[in-house]
Amino acid sequence: MIKIILHQYLAKDTYRKEIIVNIDGDVPLESLLKIIDVSLNEVGIIIVNGQWQSPKYVVKDGDTVELFPNILGG
C-alpha cells in the first residue's frame, strides 16, 4: 500500500487529496503517476517519506508520496 498526497491543483477535486494505491512489488514513481492519472509535467516536487526524490525513484510498499505542482507566477 502506498499513500499519495496531492497538493494544490493536483488534487483536482476535493476527494482526490489523498489516494491509497495497492501495488505488487516496487514501482517507479513515473509509473505510479500514470496509475493515478497525474502527468509528470504537472509535478514540480516529489517527496517520499519526507525526502525529495526524482521521478526515477522506485516506490516501495508502505511509502508515503507527496506531490506538489509546478509553481508559476511573477
74 belongs to a structural domain: no
3-class DSSP state for residue 72?
A: coil
Higher-confidence position of 73 and 68: 68
Tell me the three cell numbers of residue 45. 516536487
Domains contained in the chain, number: 1
52 belongs to a structural domain: yes
Average pLDDT estimate for 38-67? 94
Distance CA 39, CA 24 (A): 22
54 belongs to a structural domain: yes
pTM: 0.87
Mean per-residue pLDDT of the chain:
88
**Full domain range(s) for residue 11:** 2-69
- Among the listed residues 51, 33, 50, the one whose alpha carbon sits nearest the alpha carbon of residue 42: 33
**Residue pLDDT, tens place only, 23-40:** 888 999 999 999 898 999
Q: State how beta strands 51-52 and 18-21 pair.
A: unpaired
- Give the CATH number for residue 10: 3.10.20.30
Distance CA 67, CA 44 (A): 8
pLDDT at 73: 55
